[in-house]
């Protein structure tokens, strides 16, 4: 049985539309898809209040054992968005509702419904834009993102996975919004290592389109904003310190590379497809 946990008031027709997407596989397949992965799918749904984004998370076969008596992925992400939204009310995608299908304490599927930031894209797309569009996008990033990260840290929120794909940009308005931070949490004392870690993870994408000068300006604006918000020792957030943390976060040893190849081979095997519940297209 699927139960809808609404964060905002839904009219009867909208609630029925969400329930139909969860219970009717044909209705879900008919929705226009925004993205697909092994254990998740993202679709666009038009409700009476406007378009929303519905994310479906699947926990098939062996993975389902890990969900016993635990919050579903959709609920965890909704709670994280609530936390980020409390710190940055105008710069976080709103979680409207979440649903889950649970049997005997195990979660087989869950759904997260969020507001749609129309005509937006994440930061991974900036490097592929034309020169003029890329310059405009970089200007928006440099103007807003350092202050947003500083405000997040001032509220003692550690994002943990602040990647480029978790930052949306709406070019028409220049608005930036955060999304998909399931591991974000409030900490009793946000230390320098938390701040450096968030900036290091973010830099893995930003450094693909920001040169050394622009990246230095980004960090300088972060330090200035953090200092105005009362942060101590902000001068310790230097480009070198962030670069070392980013190298550790993105570094792969020969052993980790071999493990990654082994995992990929297993996923593509018949046993792996049964365990994960994902079927890869056959190649000739």
Greater confidence (43 vs 35) lies with 43
What pLDDT was estimated at residue 283? Answer: 44
Instruction: Write down the domain spans for the chain.
Output: 2-115, 121-250
Asked if 21 and 3 count as a contact pair (C-beta separation under 8 A), the reply is: no
* pLDDT at 284 (0 to 100): 39
> Residue 32, SS3?
coil
Q: What is the pTM of this model?
A: 0.81
> Domain 121-250: what homologous superfamily?
Transferase(Phosphotransferase) domain 1 (1.10.510.10)
Work out the average pLDDT over 12-25: 88
Q: Greatest CA span in the chain, whole angstroms?
A: 60
Q: What is the pLDDT of residue 258?
A: 75
Mapped onto helix, strand or coil, the DSSP state of residue 251 is coil
CA 234 to chain centre: 26
Whole-number Å distance between alpha carbons of 84 and 89 = 8
CATH number of the domain at 2-115, please?
3.30.200
The pLDDT, as a whole number, for residue 1 is 65
Task: Give the DSSP letter of residue 247.
Answer: H
* Alpha carbon of residue 276 to chain centroid: 22
pLDDT digits (tens, 9 = 90+) for 168-189: 999 999 999 999 888 899 999 9
* Start-end of H helices in the chain: 12-23, 25-30, 73-87, 131-154, 192-206, 212-228, 239-250, 254-267, 270-276
């Amino acid at each position: 049985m699927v139960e809808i946990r609404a964060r905002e008031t839904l009219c009867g027709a909208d609630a029925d539309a969400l329930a139909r997407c969860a219970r009717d596989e044909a209705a879900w397949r008919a929705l226009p898809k925004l993205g697909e992965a092994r254990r998740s799918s993202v679709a666009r749904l038009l409700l009476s209040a406007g378009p929303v984004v519905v994310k479906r998370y699947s926990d098939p076969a062996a993975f389902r054992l890990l969900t016993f008596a635990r919050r579903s992925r959709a609920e965890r992400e909704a709670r994280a968005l609530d936390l980020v939204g409390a710190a940055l009310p105008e710069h976080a995608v709103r979680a409207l509702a979440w649903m889950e299908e649970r049997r005997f304490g195990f979660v087989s599927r869950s759904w997260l419904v969020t507001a749609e930031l129309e005509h937006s894209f994440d930061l991974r797309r900036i490097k592929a834009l034309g020169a003029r569009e890329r310059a405009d996008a970089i200007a928006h990033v440099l103007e807003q993102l350092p202050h947003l990260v500083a405000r997040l840290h001032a509220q003692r929120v550690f994002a943990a996975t602040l990647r480029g794909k978790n930052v949306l940009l709406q070019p028409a308005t220049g608005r930036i919004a955060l999304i998909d931070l399931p591991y974000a949490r409030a900490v009793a004392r946000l230390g320098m290592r938390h701040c450096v870690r968030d900036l290091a993870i973010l830099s893995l994408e930003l450094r693909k389109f920001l040169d050394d000068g622009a990246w230095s300006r980004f960090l300088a604006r972060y330090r200035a904003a953090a200092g105005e918000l009362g942060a101590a020792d902000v001068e310790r957030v230097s480009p070198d310190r962030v670069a070392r943390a980013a190298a550790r976060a993105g570094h792969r040893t020969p052993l980790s590379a071999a493990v990654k190849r082994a995992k990929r081979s297993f996923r593509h095997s018949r046993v792996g497809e049964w365990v994960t519940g994902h079927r890869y297209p056959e190649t000739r």
